[in-house]
Amino acid sequence: MSLSFDVFWSFRSPYSYLATPRLLEIAQRYAVEVRLRPVYPLAVRVDGFFKRQNPKWPRYTGLDCLRTAEMLGLPFGRPQPDPIVMDMATGEVPAEQPYIRRITHLGQAATEAGRGLEFIGEVAPLIWGGRTENWHQGDHLARAAERAGLDFAALERTVAEEGERLEAAIEASHAALEASGHWGVPTMVFRGEPFFGQDRIETLLWRLRQHGLVERT
């Protein structure tokens, strides 16, 4: 029996970035299909999300991500620019979101082209690796897509010509994430059971092994 699981993943989530190398390793090492499902961040999906959070939360998240990246041996830094446009002082997130909409649509198009994991594996470090200014400009994304084995011009045509369809696919992923019993990212879902967070990947592997997970020959 073939095994597969969904990964609900956001370009604005540092924890999604931190999980990505492990997800790529699983896809390459094990006989399991890893189905990427790009979603928008909670700040965009939920109106007023940041206004309802404890003010200590951003500082702790930054500290935790920095030390987790150090533990995993990954570069880490604040995105330049942030994939979402927001007022950090007030938590106000405007409806117009050019960066996150474009990159999430590109991620959906890459997924449909069969190279979604490879795409996020190249793009996430541009955003979260702390080494790339203006990741959304110039040829940064085009070169990342090329490294992922994708035709960036073809991805951009899909985004330009099929935006409504891509948006509908992303909305369907939002609904599937909610139906799984969780709301955050990254969330891996195997046979209806959600595993939330990059620190639950080993738990997911334990469950997969119970169902016959083996390494690729």
Q: State the DSSP string of 104-163.
A: HHHHHHHHHTT-HHHHHHHHHHHHHSS--TTTTSTTHHHHHHHHTT--HHHHHHHHHHSH
Contacts of 141 (CB under 8 A, 6+ apart): 103, 106, 123, 126, 135, 152
Contact (Cβ atoms closer than 8 angstroms) between residue 144 and residue 182: no
Q: Is residue 216 part of a domain?
A: no
Residue whose C-alpha is closest to residue 86's, from 49, 129, 127? 49
φ, ψ for residue 213 (rounded to 5)? -60, 130
Residue 198 belongs to domain with CATH number: 3.40.30.10
CA distance 101 to 167: 9
Domain assignment present for residue 88? The answer is yes
Global confidence as pTM: 0.95
Please report whether residue 215 resides in a domain.
Answer: no
Per the model's pLDDT, the better-predicted residue between 92 and 39 turns out to be: 39
Residue 101: inside a domain: yes
User: Both tokens of residue 189?
Assistant: 């879902």
pLDDT in tens, 55-77: 787 889 999 999 999 999 999 99
pLDDT attached to residue 114: 98
Asked if residue 217 is part of any domain, the answer here is: no
Count CB neighbours of 100 within 10 A. 19
What would the mean pLDDT of 190-215 be, rounded to a whole number?
A: 97
The domain of 149 spans 3-210
Total structural domains in the chain?
A: 1
Q: What is the pLDDT of residues 144-183, one digit of tens each?
A: 999 999 999 999 999 999 999 999 999 999 999 999 999 9
The mean pLDDT value for 33-50 works out to 88
Q: What is the pLDDT of residue 56?
A: 85
> How far apart are the C-alpha atoms of 115 and 54, rounded to whole Å?
37
Q: Is the pLDDT of residue 49 over 80?
A: no
**What pLDDT, on the 0 to 100 scale, is given for residue 52?**
72
Residue 55 confidence (pLDDT): 78
**CA–CA separation, 19 and 203 (whole Å):** 13
Cβ 114 vs Cβ 2: under 8 Å: no
What pLDDT band is residue 6 in, cutting at 50, 70 and 90? very high
More confident residue, 16 or 44: 16
Kindly indicate the confidence band of residue 47, based on its pLDDT and cuts at 50, 70 and 90. confident
Who wins on pLDDT, 95 or 41? 41
Query: pLDDT per residue over 119-140, tens digit each?
Result: 999 999 999 999 999 999 999 9
The CA distance from 129 to 80, in Å, is 10
* Residue 21 included in any domain: yes
> Is residue 59, in this structure, part of any structural domain at all?
yes
9: left (phi over 0), alpha (psi -120 to 50) or beta: beta
In a domain, 89, yes or no: yes
pLDDT band at 1 (very low <50, low <70, confident <90, very high): low
pLDDT at 51: 66
Other CB atoms within 10 Å distance of the CB of residue 25: 11
Q: Which amino acid is at 53?
A: Q
Confidence of residue 94 (pLDDT cuts 50, 70, 90): confident
DSSP state of 168: H
